[in-house]
Structure 1
């Protein structure tokens, strides 16, 4: 029996644990929290509490609890709305219903409304009695309107308290909570407003009001004590403490701002001095558009050539060009299908078939091997790419990223553009400097310094650029290698200026077209070819690539790239009273255990 009891206790504990996890599983944020409170002449209040939830995942419903002072204080006339639609009070736990129970001094709302990544505006309306207490010399409202049982930060918080009368000259208000809050007292309108950009998790927001007891003349919750002077003295002490905390906070912010200014400036100066210690070197490769024409085909794979030309990781055009390389080597065959119908408008379909079985055992070709395994035979079409499942698209995207990264590493660009590169080190230091400057201004709240720091930043940028131009990381061989690739790019980019017949045997088009595809210049090159050669001549100069032309353009590159990319992309006035910031501590108001969440 003892073992059985232990087993039951263990199972019960597991159930509790799982149940608790379910409650905590919902991931959400609260983008706004607005509360409107109308105080009535009898000292009670009508509460309208509206929250905007933003869910990132699934949840079964919502929870909210309102804490009361004691058994004499009660909550009645409850209503719940979701996106302005009423929710029914019902104990059957059906969708779009809610339950309201009382456990001790807590009223608990449980709203049944399944969500999955949705944004919801939820409104709780109810009536609370004994919110205001009338004394012999004043009436007092002391209420933690937002309790400390919220586990999330609350954004865009606004609490409005409306008294039942206007022109309340005796109205005073204090607020307690995060020191960033702001309180506005409007005596003419009989209104107090509490505002916070964000209230930290598990932090309360408390309102403490004093006003003429005649405002709530019908209030039966009263005392014959005289407490006004005592309350004012208490709030004065809390305000003094809060002001001291703010002063200390400002001092710490100013010290932090000064530290950040020194660090930011020092980072940039250090980067300049460090680079200035190196030997002077002004060797840089030509820019992409200004490289001298080079008729020699690069002795590099097309993916490597693309990486050196643009200093970027090879993209899907590089993989399209790689397929053309393999086709020219006799490793694969590329055949147009349904040219007249087209897979998409002006985009024909193609079949890529394995010719050399050894390709299936080459370690560098895992991406292509996966594509050849999509069907029962080692071949795939562009239509197959479009019809892939989400799981296969995700796998394909990962394999392509690995292929692209490997090709980028083979280009050995890291030795040019790693962290030792002056452009990277200087620009990183300059960005870090400006970030430090910006945070320093936020800390010190001295935005008048923006122009001065802007001038300093421009001066540092000029110094960085001068240092960069005189300390190149390149050597002569590196510059020559990059200029060779970029010079070949410029010759293809300017192909329309040449008489291609005069170039004669200097141009081997079957070897050039993969590079034209990798450089995204295939349509321009194809147009030049059609302008210079007849159909018969094209069939000769292009060889096996001739069937890949369509509508006077090299259609394979665009068609394959579009299909492949689609597969891998898944994935203040006389009527206004005192206004100001919040005080720390608490004045002892009720409602501290209020809070909420989702389950």
Structure 2
């Protein structure tokens, strides 16, 4: 009961994740697979910006949008260029394909690129010049810019921002970044370069860069102030870094607690499954496999559909029903006779007529499928051609009746208790898989991949414990093992029938009685071939009795013809803090560009 409730809970959580994920995908017609920005700072404090995005569209769009926010009216955007897949786009107001417009509305510069797409991936590059990017103070120069604004409604994948100063060997260079705490900032003083990288930037989140460096680097900058702000900015950033590091520490602690909890849960699941099984009496009886079952020459005292279910542990299929008809024919309940071969359904597959002999069969509650077939015509008989000519409505009804017949035959085999979570092999292996899943998620939470080897050994140990427990607490009853071994031994005998001298078997084999089982086990062609290799036509007519007319071209043609026709009728309807390199800080240092963003239209 506990395992079932746990399984239902996991299924519910998984379904919720799928639902939320699906809604998220359907909300957007595209994703942004990479977002790279290269910024070259010039000596006058302005910047040349190269912003390249890779879109992956799921549907149609008329074009692309991007807006660059500026600080105030004094800051301007000039020298714009747009490229799609490295091909230039023309600036004009025609709204023709591969053109773009650029307008200013207050403190927003808006690009509108006309380029129809339909399920395509494309790369777009915006190039432009911004003035007043850097401000020179008496004691430092400052760049404070939300390079990626918060007006993106999609997550941005593979984000990389590179800021190049106009000089190298900038010993005074410090940089801080603000945004998602998973980001990383690299400060290269020798190259005069700062790189911000982020695997994924959440939707509606900005990425801000805050740089301090010697004002001599931007010596020609006219955007300046006589204030001394360096100490104040450093203190501000130290406070933000402290807050971010505290948040990271808290996050790591929560991850470690979660990881520890998952380790306990995972280990406990497996131990619980073992203890639950260990309460059963010791039992080492298991049925033989199909390959190892010893030959059995005794015909099973079971209906063919039940024998098929016990042999393969599956619900009886159309071959089992074909074999069931042969059973009924041997019991004089029905008659099966070949029709004119020239009127056959397919080459080498003659037509057959199945006729009712015993009227009591029409009242047997377990034969509703056969009763429906006998009611297809005015007389209680049907041919394989009748099956092919059924209407869609009748095929659907036939499929439902066959499904009911198959389930009923499967229940009679009484092997449901050995399937699903009722079977210890399934419950133990499911618990072991759940344990390993918990171990893996725990390592992801804690980010402690050095524990992989240790947890791998624990997992192997649990697998060994599970196997030992299973082998010593078999779920199989003694009488069920005997029945399964009898059926599987009969199967292996028929499968190896070509190795025997059938004449030497003598009276050990009643060939007329084994054919239904050979059909149910899909071994009829092999058995027919062996019979023709050992007996003459006259002898076959004797040993096969009423089944002999069902042979055609040295094969048991009825099995193939009926199964093909019946399957064709039901298959359509069957179910189944210092400014050096480091992590991002939260909050903001108040940089311009916060309203920047984009998308498609």
Contact 1:188–1:576, Cα closer than 8 Å, also in 2: no
SS of the equivalent of 1:583 reads coil
1: CA distance, partners of 2:373 / 2:127: 59
Contact 1:176–1:205, Cα closer than 8 Å, also in 2: yes
1:117 to partner: Cα distance: 4.3
- Greater mean alpha carbon deviation, residues 454-463 or residues 352-361: 352-361
1:227 to partner: Cα distance: 1.8
Contact 2:238–2:578, Cα closer than 8 Å, also in 1: no
Counterpart of 2:367 in structure 1 is: 365
Counterpart of 2:591 in structure 1 is: 589
Cα distance per residue 1:88-118 (max 9 Å; x no partner): 5555555555444443333344444455544
Contact 1:82–1:120, Cα closer than 8 Å, also in 2: yes
Contact 1:188–1:575, Cα closer than 8 Å, also in 2: no
Contact 2:239–2:577, Cα closer than 8 Å, also in 1: no
Which residues in structure 2 correspond to 1:78-477 (within 5 Å)? 78-89=80-91, 91=93, 93-295=95-297, 307-311=309-313, 413-477=415-479
Contact 1:183–1:580, Cα closer than 8 Å, also in 2: yes
Q: What value does the CA root-mean-square deviation take over the aligned residues?
A: 10.4
Contact 2:45–2:223, Cα closer than 8 Å, also in 1: yes
1:235 to partner: Cα distance: 0.8
1:234 to partner: Cα distance: 0.9
- Greater mean alpha carbon deviation, residues 359-368 or residues 281-290: 359-368
SS of the equivalent of 1:87 reads strand
1:331 to partner: Cα distance: 13
Contact 2:176–2:579, Cα closer than 8 Å, also in 1: no
1:368 to partner: Cα distance: 13
2: CA distance, partners of 1:580 / 1:121: 30
1:497 to partner: Cα distance: 1.5
Contact 1:308–1:485, Cα closer than 8 Å, also in 2: yes
The 1:57/1:510 distance shift into structure 2, 3 A limit, reads farther
The 1:240/1:306 distance shift into structure 2, 3 A limit, reads farther
1:196 to partner: Cα distance: 1.8
- 1:505 is aligned to 2:507: yes
The 1:128/1:279 distance shift into structure 2, 3 A limit, reads same
Cα distance per residue 1:334-364 (max 9 Å; x no partner): 9999999999999999999999999999999
Contact 2:174–2:578, Cα closer than 8 Å, also in 1: no
2: CA distance, partners of 1:429 / 1:326: 45
The 1:578/1:569 distance shift into structure 2, 3 A limit, reads farther
Cα distance per residue 1:43-102 (max 9 Å; x no partner): 333333333333445545444333332333333444444444444555555555544444
1: CA distance, partners of 2:491 / 2:323: 14
The 1:556/1:225 distance shift into structure 2, 3 A limit, reads farther
2: CA distance, partners of 1:68 / 1:111: 20
The 1:129/1:438 distance shift into structure 2, 3 A limit, reads same
Contact 1:390–1:570, Cα closer than 8 Å, also in 2: no
SS of the equivalent of 1:529 reads helix
Cα distance per residue 1:295-320 (max 9 Å; x no partner): 45667777765554344567898899
Contact 1:26–1:55, Cα closer than 8 Å, also in 2: no
Larger radius of gyration: 2
User: Which runs of 5 or more residues in structure 1 are unaligned?
Assistant: none
- Greater mean alpha carbon deviation, residues 138-147 or residues 1-10: 1-10
1: CA distance, partners of 2:59 / 2:148: 25
Cα distance per residue 1:138-165 (max 9 Å; x no partner): 2222222222233333332222222222
Count, aligned residues: 599
Contact 2:28–2:154, Cα closer than 8 Å, also in 1: no
- Greater mean alpha carbon deviation, residues 103-112 or residues 8-17: 8-17
The 1:127/1:422 distance shift into structure 2, 3 A limit, reads same
Cα distance per residue 1:544-574 (max 9 Å; x no partner): 9999999998899999999999999999999
2: CA distance, partners of 1:385 / 1:101: 71
1:581 to partner: Cα distance: 0.9
1:23 to partner: Cα distance: 13
1:239 to partner: Cα distance: 0.9
Contact 1:186–1:576, Cα closer than 8 Å, also in 2: no
- 1:59 is aligned to 2:70: no
Counterpart of 2:24 in structure 1 is: 22
- Greater mean alpha carbon deviation, residues 355-364 or residues 21-30: 355-364
Cα distance per residue 1:504-535 (max 9 Å; x no partner): 67667787677657656566556645654578
1:199 to partner: Cα distance: 2.1
The 1:91/1:560 distance shift into structure 2, 3 A limit, reads farther
1: CA distance, partners of 2:377 / 2:49: 64
1:419 to partner: Cα distance: 1.8
- Greater mean alpha carbon deviation, residues 450-459 or residues 324-333: 324-333
The 1:476/1:222 distance shift into structure 2, 3 A limit, reads same
2: CA distance, partners of 1:436 / 1:2: 18
- Greater mean alpha carbon deviation, residues 227-236 or residues 8-17: 8-17
- Greater mean alpha carbon deviation, residues 215-224 or residues 544-553: 544-553
Contact 2:399–2:574, Cα closer than 8 Å, also in 1: no
Contact 2:241–2:577, Cα closer than 8 Å, also in 1: no
1:14 to partner: Cα distance: 30
SS of the equivalent of 1:164 reads coil
Contact 1:67–1:106, Cα closer than 8 Å, also in 2: yes
- Greater mean alpha carbon deviation, residues 547-556 or residues 233-242: 547-556
2: CA distance, partners of 1:213 / 1:338: 103
The 1:166/1:313 distance shift into structure 2, 3 A limit, reads farther
2: CA distance, partners of 1:572 / 1:343: 23
The 1:218/1:274 distance shift into structure 2, 3 A limit, reads same
2: CA distance, partners of 1:212 / 1:428: 62
Contact 1:303–1:407, Cα closer than 8 Å, also in 2: yes
SS of the equivalent of 1:152 reads coil
1:264 to partner: Cα distance: 2.0
